[in-house]
A and B are shown apart, each in its own frame.
Chain A
Amino acid sequence: MIDLLGHFHPFLVHFPIGILVLACVMIWLQAIRKTETQSSISILLLLGTIAAILAAISGFLLSNSGEYEKGDGLAHQWWGIGTSICAIILYFFQAYQKIISLVLLIAIAITGHLGGELTYGSNYLFASKKTNSPVKKLSLSTIDTIQQKVELDTAIEVVRMKGNNPFEQEVLPILKSHCFQCHSSKKQKGKLRLDTKTFIKKGGKEGLILHAGNPLKSHLYSYLILPEDDDLHMPPEGKKQLNSRQIDIIKRWIEMGAPFGESEAESLHATVKSLHAMPLPLPIKPASDEALLEAKKQGISISPYPSSNGGLSLNFVNIKRLDPKVWQATSALQKQVLQIKLSKRQDIQVEDLLNFKNLQQLNLEQSNVQDADLEHLGQLPHLSQLNLYGTGISDQGIKAIVAMKALKVLYIWQSKLSQEGLQRLKTARPDVSIVEGKFQFSPPDTNRLKAIK
């Protein structure tokens, strides 16, 4: 109930401002034009004074409601009380009313301005106010704009995070310019502050606002993309809105896991941990859109490599001929590619593969690779899975396979490898699981197929 009265403050403040200013104007008009309007002035002053007192009380209640930090609106509060007292004096002392009315006008102006700063931020008066005006009319000439907007909305341009502390470099400036007005040390609407890591992690009245990795569950992002007329939309209707790039930055940052830029010790710990989880050179820098597009244009199928962050898998199933142009198109992806699939191709030259230094998995089944090619493949330091079934690999290739240090899984059936050679391979590399492809079911016991009597 008290909170409700407090909420009437923004409504009530307009009355003392309007009525008292009018009273002051009439005092001076009376003095200049020498007309007698004292009775009207008295009524206005009485009403204005009551309104000022009500505004002061409701303001006091509002300041205690918890939506504002203690002491934050102190100046506004005392100027408001001062204004009310000044109005009372003016009502009772007609003799000095011209002078007092000037004082009152100044007091009203200062109180009003201080109140405005509380609501709209400290520099609202001189800050330029740019809002995106919505496209008002659909005409042929605006269709281009709409198209561009649609393209922006489908987020073709992927915003990339710069630097090693995206929070401070990218996210914080956005929060500062669009959110601090209501959610910072000045003011905590919804009991929420966004000015430091601790407060952002703590959330507001409705609980957590940040779910690292999941933008749609994070109110910090999801409220931004609600329709502007939605009650929950942030920033509220009429306030300076974020543009689509800024929204995307917030989204990407949350997707990244909302890193706040840890201390050196923390980040070292994280690196060590991830090194344990994955055997490979880490972290992989994600491929650029241009590089991906370039490879896709050639018809190469690209997909993320399972359980890797930023790793890629290339499939050449749609490529007619493996000419230099094709490999040229993948040159900007050499660091990211962890798997290459060249199944059943007869035009492979393994030298082309050696640039992909991080390659973990290579599918060369039923292809033209020969024993001599394996030595080249030995130059790939991270190759852990090699598929060679249905190829012409023979006992001559064993030496090269044994030398592949990182190798863990080898598919070698239907090749020209002899039984004796296979045995040698197994003895030399007991740590490699060798898939021989010989699989036969044991015949079922037909007696058991009869129903139990």
Chain B
Amino acid sequence: MGHQHTDPFRLSHPDLEKLNWGLDRRDFLKKTAMGFGAIALNGLLASHQAQGQSLEQQIMSALPRIAPKAKRVVYLFMSGGPSQFETWDYKPELTKRMGQDLPDSIRKGQRLTGMSANQAILPVAASAYGFRQYGQSQTWVSDLLPYTAQVVDELCVIKSMFTEQINHDPAITFFQTGHQLPGRPSIGSWLSYGLGSENQNLPAFIVMVSKDASKDQPLYARLWGNGFLPSEHQGVQFRSSKDPVLFLSNPEGYDGKDRQEMLEYLKQLNQLQNESWGDPEVDARIAQYEMAFKMQTSVPEVMDVSDEPQEVFDLYGPNSRDKGSFAANCLLARKLLEKDVRFVQLYHQGWDHHDSLPKNIVNQCKQTDQATAALIMDLKRRGMLEDTLVIWGGEFGRTVYSQGKLSPTGYGRDHHPKCFSMWMAGAGVKAGTTFGQTDDFSYNIVKDPVHVHDFQATLLHLMGIDHEQLVYKYQGRRFRLTDVHGKLVKGILA
């Protein structure tokens, strides 16, 4: 839509005037190509609405359902690629090899990024921080995560994650959408499409980005985009500014009394448009207006933390009163999950430590460690951890060798897709376990590799969806979150 044709291209007859207004070439092709489908779809929607169920729910209810272990997910995305060496993958052998060139038998000629490929040597860098064993599970945890260490018996640490992407944007896009190129729906959008919204007053997919992180790598709204799914399934970003959701509150000077009436008329107009147009996006538009109206009351209510007792703020740590910080977002995430929001995704940037890693990672851990652990305990004591899945992880790992000069306390690490660590906790996951194993250099996986698609398949499984069944047909192809891949990681299922 959008561009205007000049008159010679247009038919000139009074009866065709409406056509001239409405259809340019592209729209015409779009409309006629989908004409029959659209009519059928409209019919379907009408009949389903009559039964009080969305089309998606109908389709899903017809699919073979796995009884879901998880009803909600909170995904703490550590953007930038946290180093596994200073967090979860304890490699004591490396201290002996400190400064030695990385053996070819380990690297096996793997292509490196342009940032470290031209280094004369690839000096092995051991973690500058110690590790200790915690909990009944005796899991090794870095000294940088003293709070998460105290809840380690709730976690299932996966040390054998691997991805196919070595750069931030393709890697994070791959994690979020199952494909390295932009344009496909995010995990949360797939879940919103597949399962619908449990709480009709809040979106099924909500995103929050920490404001206190260093923004070393950018995040784009398409990472929580709906791709080709109907637009009401896109992730809605909640912000720490005066308006948590942009353009949601009434404009200044307008009291909003006739808002509902106005939206009702707008809906009628949209429905008229829908009847002559048959474009499913009109339905999405109607749904979004309705949701926005409900959110005018539901969002301020859920964002209000004033009735939380001091004890809760103490639990989440000193930053939890600072709106927009990771800690405050964790607390909000708990509130959203209590309201049965299906998928809450938090992003915390700043993990891309190409240099001065020992210095920078301390601050990253400080910002996230306590609130992460608090979220787990808070969910647990509310009886919610048993049906909420908590996920922590980045888009890839980091290299065992130092990028740039190595000194005992100063080194950097380059991107490493061949192995990295993440953890899951809560619903349906084996608590207090470690899955997978890397070699002594945490360079290659020696046991139980878990591909990104496997992770996604497992996530969907825990939510009660067979990843091979959640399919959306677009441009003649049937798309899945896991594309044509993905195996269930049975070893981490409780």
Q: Residues on A close to B: CB < 8 A?
A: 138, 143, 146-147, 150-151, 154-156, 158, 215-216, 255, 293, 296-297, 299, 301, 303-309, 313, 315, 317-318, 343, 363, 365, 385, 387, 389, 409, 411, 413, 435, 437, 439-442, 444-445, 448-449, 451-453
Contacts and interface: CB of A to CB of B under 8 A. Distances in A.
Contacts of A409: 383
A154 B200 contact: no
Given A304-B67, A317-B339, A441-B370, A150 B44 contact: yes
Contact of B200 (A299, A308, A442, A448): A299
Contacts of A411: 381-383
A293 B36 contact: no
B128 interface: yes
Contacts, number: 122
A122 to B, nearest CB: 37
Interface of B: 36, 39-40, 43-44, 47, 51-53, 58-59, 61-62, 64-65, 67-69, 71, 128-130, 143-144, 146-147, 150, 198-201, 314-315, 338-340, 358, 362, 370, 373-374, 377-378, 381-383, 387, 408-409, 427-428, 464, 468
Contacts of A308: 67
Nearest to A414: B309
B409 A451 contact: yes
Contact of A439 (B64, B68, B199, B377): B377
A340 to B, nearest CB: 13
A304 B65 contact: yes
B41 to A, nearest CB: 9
B58 A147 contact: no
28 contacts: A138-B36, A143-B36, A146-B36, A146-B40, A151-B44, A154-B44, A304-B67, A304-B464, A315-B340, A317-B340, A318-B199, A318-B201, A363-B383, A389-B381, A389-B383, A411-B382, A435-B383, A437-B382, A441-B374, A442-B150, A444-B147, A445-B146, A449-B362, A451-B129, A451-B409, A452-B129, A452-B130, A453-B408
Nearest to A390: B382
Nearest to B143: A448
B52 A297 contact: yes
Given A441-B150, A451-B408, A453-B409, 18 more contacts: A138-B36, A143-B36, A215-B64, A299-B200, A306-B68, A306-B69, A306-B427, A309-B67, A313-B71, A413-B381, A437-B382, A439-B377, A439-B381, A441-B147, A441-B374, A444-B146, A449-B129, A449-B143
Contacts of A343: 338
A293 B57 CA distance: 11
Given A296-B53, A442-B150, A305 B62 contact: no
Contacts of B201: 318
A143 B381 contact: no
Given A150-B40, A411-B382, A451-B129, A158 B62 contact: yes
A453 to B, nearest CB: 6
Contacts of B409: 451-453
Given A154-B62, A304-B464, A315-B340, A435 B381 contact: yes
Contacts of B53: 293, 296
Contacts of A441: 147, 150, 315, 370, 373-374
Contacts of A317: 198-199, 339-340
Contacts of B198: 301, 303, 315, 317
Given A150-B44, A448-B146, A365 B382 contact: yes
Contacts of B150: 441-442
A306 B428 CA distance: 9
A301 B382 contact: no
Enumerate the 9 nearest inter-chain pairs by beta-carbon distance, A residue then B residue, closest first. A444-B146, A451-B128, A155-B62, A448-B143, A297-B52, A437-B381, A304-B67, A451-B409, A147-B43
Contacts of A440: 314-315
Contacts of B64: 215, 255
Nearest to A293: B51
Most buried by B among A216, A297, A307, A444: A444
Contacts of A318: 199-201
Nearest to B147: A441
Nearest to B151: A441
A442 B146 CA distance: 9
A317 to B, nearest CB: 5
A385 B51 CA distance: 34
Contact of A387 (B36, B62, B339, B383): B383
A361 to B, nearest CB: 9
A305 B67 CA distance: 7
A445 B362 CA distance: 14
Nearest to B370: A441
A151 B52 contact: no
Contacts of A452: 128-130, 408-409
Given A293-B52, A318-B200, A318-B201, A147 B44 contact: yes
B239 to A, nearest CB: 24
Nearest to B462: A306
Given A151-B47, A318-B201, A441-B370, A303 B68 contact: yes
Contacts of A365: 382-383
Nearest to A217: B468
B181 to A, nearest CB: 28
A411 B374 CA distance: 18
A203 B366 CA distance: 60
B146 A154 contact: no
A385 B385 CA distance: 14
A389 B382 contact: yes
Contacts of A299: 200
Most buried by A among B69, B373, B387: B387
Nearest to A318: B200
B71 A303 contact: yes
A444 B65 CA distance: 44
A50 B86 CA distance: 86
A411 B339 CA distance: 18
A156 B71 contact: no
Contacts of B58: 154, 156
B52 A296 contact: yes
B318 to A, nearest CB: 12
A305 B464 CA distance: 11
